[in-house]
Structure 1
Amino acid sequence: MSATHPIIGVTGSSGAGTSSAMAVLKGLFAGLGLTPAIVEGDAFHAYDRDGNRKAIERAHIRGENFSLFGPAGNHLDRLEALLREYGETGTGVFRHYLHTEAEARAAGQSAGTFTPWQPLPQGTDVLFYEGLHGGYVGEDADIHRHMDLLIGVVPVINLEWIQKIRRDTEERGHHPEDVMRTILRRIPDYVTYITPQFSRTDVNFQRVPLVDTSNPFTVRDIPKPEESLVVIHFNEHSRLRADIDELGDAIDGAYTPNAHSLVVPGPQMEAAMELILAPAIEALAETRRRLLAGA
């Protein structure tokens, strides 16, 4: 963590809906005049698409489990090195993973590959990480300790699977059966490495559908926001100083089931994110400006 070079993370598994949080945060950065260095967790996978396929095959032959949820599928040491360097100097080295054909054409490469490692842009005010491992803690790396603010986005598991199947088939061209096999294969790593992170976040946004998602492998329509509720939970160690009762009064249709949680209608999720996160980001920005002015 660094007051001069703050780091904000959004952690959530593939298809969890982190794009909504990213949009809100980018809007808040722009409103505060902050230039973010954006780092995607996918860029720190250990293998490109072809290499990942081969790693899965090798693990299957050996009777081992392998997935991008676990540390074996990622360069978490390099991610931590980037976060450490950014916190100290505002610099670091990153790359991009090219998911789609459009991204690949723009980069002059093939889909499923990485761009070369390159320095972060100069003159950024905050590093914004979005990916699977923002709250990861292990013997190989401790990503969580570098976060000045950590946000979890985690829908109920059936909804998460529906969103992943829909996204990977429509946007990335995967077959539904292949996506289903991926979901089943990585469940052990999800339980071991992903779910514990949500106990380390400052706040979690969990979307809960109000329509039937009993069999996520047959449901193809993602529940609309108006067909959902969002459970917002502040962990006991949260660095956010939100007054839940005041938030409940400010958001139409919200209610507070307990002292640490707020429930809002699905269409109000982004508005709730703005109300909750804006003061914290503004405080980080003001501390940074004050320190730089006194340097």
Structure 2
Amino acid sequence: MSQKHPVIAVTGSSGAGTSTVKTSFEHIFQRERLNVAVVEGDSFHRYDRESMKQAVEESEKGGGRPISHFGPEANEFEKLEELFRSYGQSGSGEIRLYLHNEQEAQPYNQKPGTFTPWKSIQPGTDLLFYEGLHGGVKSDTADVSQYVDLLVGVVPIVNLEWIQKIYRDTAARGYSAEAVTHTILRRMHDYVHYITPQFSRTHVNFQRVPTVDTSNPFIARDIPTLDESMVVIRFRDHRGADFPYLLNMISGSFMSRPNTIVVPGGKMGMAIELILTPLILDLVAKSKK
């Protein structure tokens, strides 16, 4: 980790809601006028869209264990580790973009589902912000987490995570419910071995727990709203949190353990900003000394 060039990562699996947390971070960066190098986790996939389809088909031949976007076979963990290490030392590193759709691809005159060329981060940024699947991942060949100064986990209970993924992929991406269910099953080995262990390494976890029945996520008609949820926030080091202040500021919150505060789901964005703003500003202040 670096005192000079901070690295902040938000990590969570597909459908976990990391994009919602990313919005809260953007509010903090804008309000505090921070110049941030933003990195999307998808840009460190190993294959473009068409090549990934072929790689999955090849891996499933003969009953073999399929590869997935959760695991090392389909990702450049070593390059992500090198980016975090390099940025922490010099404030720069190699990044690229994954172009998800026509709108993103058009300015680059490329097809959706492809990558832009690698390029160096421009000097002068205050910090690096990563949002994606693997901000705290470890594998046999890489340890990304060792170079992260602030690691934040976004971890809805697994049934809610699956509901969000099924709803998003069927409504927004046109997949059938059966196809999305197959993807969930195909990814399960990598989910257990590479996604969930990250949440034991995070500095802060935000886990959304619905207060409505989600016992069968595969027949759910809609996603429970924030107001139909509570958010369990766990700190790795409770000494870094001002719990009396948070309890006073967030109506309806309570402590469930010495390192855990529970807040109403509708207060999630507010809680993120109250908790993370001082942590981010502390990192930036130390980097400028």
What is aligned with 1:154?
155
Contact 1:244 1:261 (8 Å CA) reproduced: no
Counterpart in the other structure of 1:293: none
Measured against aligned partners, the alpha-carbon deviations of 1:10-63 in whole angstroms (never above 9, x if no partner) come to 000111011121111111122222111001111011111111111111111141
Name the structure 2 match of 1:17: 17
- Sort the Cα spacing of 1:220 and 1:116 in 2 relative to 1 into closer, same or farther, 3 A: farther
- For 2:247 and 2:281, the matched residues in 1 are separated by 21
8 Å CA contact retained: 1:100, 1:172: no
Percent identical among aligned pairs is 53
Residue 35 of structure 2 aligns with an amino acid whose one-letter code is T
- 5+ unaligned residues in a row in structure 2: which ranges? none
Residue of structure 2 equivalent to 1:287: 286
Residue 223 (1) aligns with residue 229 (2): no
Q: Which residue of 2 aligns with 1:252?
A: 251
Partner of 1:58: 58
List runs of 5+ in structure 1 lacking aligned partners: 291-295
Alpha-carbon shift at residue 143 of structure 1 (Å): 0.4
- 1:33 aligns to what? 33
CA RMSD of aligned residues (A): 1.4
Alpha-carbon distance in 1 for matches of 2:176, 2:29? 37
Residue matched to 2:176: 175
* Partner secondary structure for residue 217 of structure 1: helix
Q: CA deviation at 1:108?
A: 2.1
Give a deviation string over 1:214-236, Cα, whole Å, max 9, x none. 22112131111111110111124
Letter in 2 for 1:193: Y
Matches within 5 A, 1:1-295: 1-62=1-62, 63-236=64-237, 241-290=240-289
1:37 and 1:59 mapped to 2: Cα distance? 35
Matches of 1:170 and 1:118 in 2, distance apart?
A: 34
Contact 1:99-1:172 within 8 A present in 2 as well? no
Aligned length: 288
Between the aligned partners of 1:267 and 1:108, the Cα distance in structure 2 is 41
Take 2:105 and 2:178, find their aligned partners in 1: how far apart are those partners? 25
**Alpha-carbon distance in 2 for matches of 1:270, 1:7:** 21
For normalisation by structure 1, the TM-score amounts to 0.93
CA distance, structure 2, for counterparts of residue 141 and residue 165 of structure 1:
31
